[in-house]
């Protein structure tokens, strides 16, 4: 057995354990993505980084040592996790409106936890499939705007007016506008909803709307 | 030191005339094979009692291809930048006791003054300490006999008479640190591996040198392969290994061929195989040709490459406890192993004479870029950058000023010229944002744009990233795109901060050494040349006038005589005007190719 300190809480774990085991035993949480206990342990996503004796290491793959001092969270770690998470989102083809994962999506729950504004409201919306407002021709702003509200409006059957603002990724904008068009939503209807943001509407979004609706 | 009589025998040979021609990748590119053939042809045609001697490269690349002529009773003269058509003239003149045109004399006969400096008096040679590269350019790399003449395999014999602990103790006493870049103490690696209990252990020579602008490992292995092999056998003995690998890129065929030949010859002489020299120690070496990837310089990726797929893994466990096929493994750089062999040949005291308190010995540095004398120079660790760049490499090309030097290749950082008094050792470089790396120095003069340099290196690391871990795979891509935006004049105010934050995150959270050092060029240029970045971002100007999108070509009307040459060379017809009148460049059409600037006979075209 090895004694380690996690955020100043002392725990004892078996010799061969990784930091994550000690962290969990001490009752703390570290965000995990690529790690699947017993199946995948290659430490590739680097979201679970912690500080072991001041050194930044992945909790899922770094073995514990006697007397190791583990910090699971500080400003620097939070910042790194957030940056790495944003990098991950940048390569993710976000299509929450027709993705079945919804509440089981770790990416979406983690984005809330880390405060990254990258995932649209659709990830939380319960109106999946035929009930989706956009599928019924209603210009709901869910696909374009930031999640985190638990989709309060669409839960009540009302359309999302996007009070939390647009998601940051232009790829998501393009995908979303295409989604509107495929569902026969007219440009005027979409624009009449977006008018709320008209003053702060990014030029790039206007360009994307022009581009998608042109042909 | 090598006995002088041995040097004389190798240099003069047994015939009346011996012509040394370097055959290695770098000199071959400069045309030394043609020179070799011409010399051979000349000797057979004239019937002189002479021979041509194939040697390795000295590392003085700016002289390639050179030849060294040694006639009985004559001084040994070096002729440089030789063309194969001139060979006949040069040798005939030399045999007529006319040495004019020689670059330098290697040895004099007696005390005669020939009016030509000795090589030992030339700054690029005199300031070097040729310790590990002592045989480079002197012996035939494909002959084991010549290596043995210079004291080769004596070190192995000495080591095999000792206990394993004693061998490790000697390396500890020497203070030798890994020459591959990180500077980990070699003895410690060996000791940990030695203490592991395992039926099999391996030693691997890391010859996967991939930095742009670094070629000392290739040079060493091509010019003196037996030294590397001897070092590897000593390492194998010290840790109790059963098998050794030499990891070479297949894209360096001559290096691999020569190492393979060296292994075969050493086996024939009984330095490899069962029961080496009757000591009961059995060891063999395989030369492994890899497909070659920059990431294989990382030891876990190198091991994985031999196993099948080149991808690094999280350490620990370190290879010393669980390496190749899960067995304890030592991975040492080519130069480190050559140092080991030399230490055992000549003794620890000779080695520890050089270097600093913390890092002993010498290191080979490749100096390339905007200097007069590019090449490989072996100097004691702790030599100042100034001495290396200005005294050995000859300083900047006429009319230019050196702005910075990029130390350690794409994983290293730049050091601005006002810090050139820094000493080249592991700790100092690290403190200033660079790394020793394999020892490549790329010199940048005032015609280079630092943002562009940083972008060049991120292009390289981005292409070489294996893609396993997220920060390196995506982070480097975003950094590269941001830099691209900046050099195209589309940089935003927040980009500089973004580069800094992203760089630090990639360094701290990446899985292996590649990602852990890839943002260094960006961070170090940001540290020392932030004003250049700001100039790009805020004023959309490139101070060095390099970035094409930020440069405008104009014709100086006072200098222009209206000849129209520029208009003829312009590929997009952006230049118009009447003959005799000043011409004009239409900036909206101009593609900034620069062909008008090169071709204008009056120097009337200017970049602003």
Q: Which residues, 6 or more positions from A50, have their beta carbon under 8 angstroms from its beta carbon?
A: A19, A23, A30, A56, A57, A58, A59, A70, A71, A72, A77
Give pLDDT, residue A206.
Answer: 84
Of A61, A63, A84, which has the smallest distance from its Cβ to B470's Cβ? Answer: A84
Whole-number Å distance between alpha carbons of B423 and B429: 8
Instruction: Give the per-residue pLDDT at B371.
Output: 92
The residue to which tokens 């497909």 are assigned: B291
* Residue of A61, A84, A88 with shortest CB distance to B509: A84
Interface touch A43/B509, C-beta < 8 Å: no
Mean pLDDT of chain B: 90
How confident is the prediction along chain A (215 residues), in pLDDT tens digits per residue? 899 999 999 999 999 899 999 999 999 999 999 998 888 888 999 999 999 999 999 999 999 999 999 999 999 999 999 999 999 988 888 888 888 887 788 888 888 888 888 889 988 888 877 788 988 888 898 998 988 888 888 988 888 888 888 888 888 898 999 999 998 888 888 888 887 766 667 788 888 888 888 87
Q: Is A84 in the B-facing interface, judged by CB distances under 8 Å? A: yes
Please tell me the distance from the alpha carbon of residue B225 to that of residue B259, in angstroms, as a whole number: 6
Mean pLDDT of B335-346: 94
Asked, as a colleague might, if the bond just before B316 is cis with ω within 30 of 0, I would say yes
List pLDDT tens digits, range B557-583.
888 888 888 888 999 989 988 888 888
pLDDT, one tens digit per residue, over B65-76 is 899 998 888 888
B8 confidence band (pLDDT: 50, 70, 90): confident
The pLDDT tens digits for B206-231 are 998 888 888 999 999 999 999 999 99
Note whether A88 contacts B: Cβ–Cβ < 8 A.
yes
Would the pLDDT of B203 be above 90? yes
- Which residues are paired to A6 by β-bridges? A9, A70
Provide the pLDDT for residue B5.
77
- The answer to whether A210 touches A203, Cβ cutoff 8 Å, is no
CB contact under 8 A, B508 and A56: yes
A43–B469 CB contact, under 8 Å: yes
Interior angle at CA A189, CA A183 and CA A190, nearest 5: 70
Q: Is the pLDDT of residue B246 over 80?
A: yes
> Which contacts (CB < 8 Å, 24+ apart) does range B36-45 have?
B37/B84, B38/B84, B38/B85, B38/B87, B38/B88, B39/B67, B39/B87, B39/B91, B42/B87, B42/B88, B42/B91, B43/B17, B43/B19
Indicate the DSSP class of residue B48: -
Question: What is the least distance, in Å, from the CA of B123 to any CA of chain A?
Answer: 45
What are the helix (H) ranges across B134-202? Answer: 144-149, 154-160, 164-174, 186-195
Which residues of chain B does A44 touch, with a Cβ-Cβ cutoff of 8 Å?
468-470, 511
% of chain B surpassing 70 pLDDT: 99
Specify the pLDDT at position B115. 82
CATH number of B552-607: 3.30.70.20
Region B468-495: what's the mean pLDDT?
A: 92
| B501/chain A closest Cα distance in angstroms | 8
CB B329 within 8 A of CB B303: yes
Evaluate whether B79 touches B69 at the Cβ level (below 8 Å). Answer: yes
Best residue in B311, B321, B465, B469 to probe A by mutation, most A CBs within 10 Å? B469
- B4-121: which CATH topology? Glutaredoxin (3.40.30)
Q: What is the fold of B144-350?
A: Rossmann fold (3.40.50)
* Domain boundaries B450-538, CATH class: mainly alpha
Which pLDDT score is estimated for B1? 42
Nearest CA of chain B to the CA of A47: how many Å?
9
Q: Which residue of A has its CA nearest to B475?
A: A87
In the predicted structure, residue B378 carries a pLDDT above the cut 90: yes
Provide residues of B within 8 Å CB-CB of chain A. Answer: 313-314, 316-317, 468-471, 474-475, 478, 501-502, 504-505, 508-511
pLDDT one-digit tens code per residue, B427-438: 898 888 888 888
Residue B293: pLDDT above 70?
yes
Fold (topology level) of B362-445 = Ubiquitin-like (UB roll) (3.10.20)
The yes-or-no verdict on residue B2 having pLDDT over 60 is no
The string of pLDDT tens digits covering residues B126-153 is 889 999 998 888 889 999 999 998 888 9
Question: Cβ of B508 and A44 within 8 Å?
Answer: no
Q: Give the residue from A15, A16, A17, A44 with the most B CB atoms within 10 Å of its CB, the best one to mutate.
A: A44
Contacting residues of B for A58, CB less than 8 Å apart: 314, 509, 511
The whole-angstrom separation of Cα B240 and Cα B283 is 9
Q: Please tell me which of the candidates B475, B501, B509 has its beta carbon nearest to residue A56.
A: B509
Contacts of B509 in chain A (CB under 8 A): 46, 49, 56, 58, 80, 84
Chain A CA closest to residue B498: A83
A56 at interface of B, judged by CB pairs closer than 8 A: yes
Q: Which residue of B has its CA nearest to A48?
A: B509
What is this model's ipTM? 0.88
Mean pLDDT of B162-168: 94
pLDDT above 90: residue B337:
yes
Domain residue extents for chain A:
2-83, 94-214
A46·B509 Cβ contact <8 A: yes
From the list B316, B470, B478, the residue facing A63 with the nearest CB is B316
Distance in angstroms (rounded) separating the CA atoms of residues B183 and B329: 18
For chain A, positions 151-190, list CB contacts with chain B under 8 A: none
Q: Which pairs count as long-range contacts for A168-173, CB under 8 Å and 24+ apart, including other chains?
A: A168/A117, A168/A118, A169/A89, A169/A90, A169/A94, A169/A118, A170/A204, A170/A205, A170/A208, A171/A93, A171/A94, A172/A94, A172/A118, A172/A120, A172/A143, A172/A144, A173/A144, A173/A204, A173/A205, A173/A208
Are B468 and A58 inside 8 Å of each other by CB? no
Architecture of domain A2-83: Roll (3.10)
Of A46, A62, A63, the CB nearest to B469: A46
pLDDT at B16 (0 to 100): 87
The partner residue sitting opposite A49, judged by closest CB among B502, B504, B509, is B509
| A-to-B residue pairs, Cβ atoms closer than 8 angstroms | 56
Region B90-110 average pLDDT: 85
Judged by CB atoms closer than 8 Å, whether chains meet at A43 and B471 is answered as: no
Q: Does A52 touch chain B (CB under 8 A)?
A: no
Name every chain A residue with its beta carbon within 8 A of the beta carbon of B510: 46
Hey, is A201 helix, strand or coil? coil
Q: Would you state the pLDDT for residue A199?
A: 66
**Residue A18: closest CA among chain B residues belongs to which residue?**
B316
Q: Residue A134 in contact with residue A189, Cβ under 8 Å?
A: no
The pLDDT assigned to B3 comes to 54
Q: Nearest chain B Cα to A65, which residue?
A: B316
First to last CA, chain B: 57
**Residues of A with Cβ-Cβ distance to B314 under 8 angstroms:** 42-43, 58, 61-62
Q: Does the pLDDT at position B187 exceed 90? A: yes
pLDDT of residue B587: 86
Cβ–Cβ below 8 Å for B510 and A91: no
Smallest Cβ–Cβ distance between B509 and the set A42, A61, A80 belongs to A80
Q: Do A49 and B313 touch (CB under 8 A)?
A: no
Interface test with chain B among A46, A47, A54, A118, by most B beta carbons within 10 Å: A46
Q: Which residues of B touch A91 (CB under 8 A)?
A: 474
Residue B508 CA to its chain's centroid (Å): 27
Contact between chains at A44 and B468 (C-beta distance less than 8 A)? yes
Domain coordinates of chain B in residue numbers? 4-121, 144-350, 362-445, 450-538, 552-607
Instruction: State the Cα angle at B417 between B481 and B603, rounded to 5°.
Output: 75
Please list, residue by residue across A137-149, b when 16 or more beta carbons sit within 10 angstroms of its beta carbon and e when fewer do.
eebbbbbbbbbbb
């Amino acid at each position: 057995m090895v004694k380690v300190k996690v955020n100043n809480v002392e725990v004892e774990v078996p010799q061969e354990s990784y930091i994550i085991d000690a962290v969990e035993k001490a009752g703390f949480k570290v965000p995990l993505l690529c790690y699947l206990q017993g199946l995948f342990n290659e430490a590739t996503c680097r979201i679970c980084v912690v500080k072991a004796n001041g050194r930044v290491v992945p909790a899922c793959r770094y073995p514990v040592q006697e007397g190791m001092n583990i910090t699971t969270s500080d400003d620097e770690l939070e910042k790194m996790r957030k940056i790495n998470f944003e990098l991950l989102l940048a390569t993710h083809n976000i299509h929450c409106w027709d993705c079945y994962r919804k509440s089981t999506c770790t990416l979406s729950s983690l984005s809330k936890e880390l405060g990254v504004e990258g995932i649209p409201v659709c990830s939380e919306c319960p109106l999946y499939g035929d009930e989706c407002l956009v599928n019924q021709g209603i210009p709901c702003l869910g696909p374009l705007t930031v999640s985190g509200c638990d989709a309060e409006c669409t839960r009540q059957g009302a359309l999302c007016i996007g009070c939390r603002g647009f998601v940051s990724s232009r790829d998501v904008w393009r995908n979303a506008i295409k989604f509107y068009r495929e569902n026969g939503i007219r440009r005027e209807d979409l624009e009449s909803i977006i008018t709320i943001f008209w003053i702060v509407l990014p030029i790039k979004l206007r360009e994307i709307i022009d581009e998608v609706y042109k042909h | 030191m090598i006995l002088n009589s041995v040097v004389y025998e190798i240099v003069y040979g047994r015939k009346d005339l011996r012509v040394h021609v370097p055959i290695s990748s770098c000199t071959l590119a400069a045309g030394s094979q043609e020179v070799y053939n011409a010399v051979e042809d000349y000797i057979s045609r004239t019937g002189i009692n002479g021979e041509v001697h194939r040697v390795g490269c000295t590392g003085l690349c700016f002289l390639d291809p050179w030849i060294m002529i040694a006639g009985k009773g004559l001084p040994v003269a070096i002729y440089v930048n030789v063309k194969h058509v001139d060979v006949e003239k040069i040798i005939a003149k030399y045999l007529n006791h006319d040495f004019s045109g020689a670059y330098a004399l290697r040895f004099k006969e007696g005390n005669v003054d020939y009016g030509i400096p000795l090589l030992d008096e030339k700054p690029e040679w005199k300031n070097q300490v040729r310790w590990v590269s002592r045989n480079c350019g002197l012996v035939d790399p494909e002959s084991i006999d010549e290596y043995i003449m210079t004291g080769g395999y004596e070190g192995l014999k000495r080591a095999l008479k000792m206990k394993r602990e004693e061998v490790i103790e000697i390396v500890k006493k020497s203070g030798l640190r890994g020459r591959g870049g990180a500077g980990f103490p070699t003895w410690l690696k060996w000791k940990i591996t030695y203490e592991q209990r395992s039926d099999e252990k391996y030693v691997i020579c890391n010859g996967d040198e991939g930095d742009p602008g670094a070629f000392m490992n290739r040079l060493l292995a091509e010019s003196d392969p037996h030294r590397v092999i001897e070092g590897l056998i000593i390492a194998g003995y010290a840790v109790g290994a059963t098998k050794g690998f030499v990891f070479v890129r297949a894209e360096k065929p001559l290096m691999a061929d020569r190492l393979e030949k060296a292994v075969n010859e050493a086996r024939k002489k009984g330095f490899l195989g069962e029961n080496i020299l009757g000591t009961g120690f059995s060891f063999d070496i395989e030369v492994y040709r890899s497909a070659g990837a920059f990431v294989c310089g990382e030891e876990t990726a190198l091991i994985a490459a031999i196993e099948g797929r080149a991808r690094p893994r999280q350490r620990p466990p370190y290879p010393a406890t669980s390496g190749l096929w899960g067995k304890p493994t030592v991975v040492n750089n080519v130069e480190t192993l050559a140092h080991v062999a030399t230490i055992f040949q000549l003794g620890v005291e000779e080695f520890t004479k050089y270097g600093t308190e913390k890092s002993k010995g010498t290191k080979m540095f490749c100096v390339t870029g905007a200097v007069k004398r590019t090449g490989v120079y072996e100097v004691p660790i702790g030599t100042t950058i100034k001495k290396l760049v200005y005294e050995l490499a000859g300083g900047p090309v006429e009319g230019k000023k050196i702005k910075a030097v990029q130390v350690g290749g794409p994983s290293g950082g730049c050091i601005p010229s006002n810090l050139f008094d820094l000493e080249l050792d592991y700790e100092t470089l690290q403190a200033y944002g660079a790394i020793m790396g394999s020892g490549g120095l790329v010199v940048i003069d005032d015609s280079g744009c630092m943002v562009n340099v940083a972008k060049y290196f991120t292009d390289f690391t981005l292409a070489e990233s294996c893609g396993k871990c997220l920060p390196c795979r995506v982070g480097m891509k975003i950094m590269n795109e941001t830099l691209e935006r900046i050099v195209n004049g589309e940089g935003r105010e927040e980009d500089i901060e973004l580069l800094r934050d992203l760089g630090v995150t990639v360094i701290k959270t990446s899985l292996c050494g590649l990602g852990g050092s890839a943002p260094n060029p960006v961070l170090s240029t940001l540290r020392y040349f932030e004003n250049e970045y700001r100039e790009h971002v805020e004023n959309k100007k490139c101070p060095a006038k390099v970035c094409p999108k930020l440069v405008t070509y104009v014709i100086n009307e006072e200098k222009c005589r209206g000849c129209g040459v520029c208009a003829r060379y312009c590929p997009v017809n952006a230049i118009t005007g009447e003959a005799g009148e000043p011409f004009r460049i239409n900036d909206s059409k101009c593609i900034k190719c620069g062909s008008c600037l090169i071709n204008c006979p009056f120097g009337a075209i200017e970049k602003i």
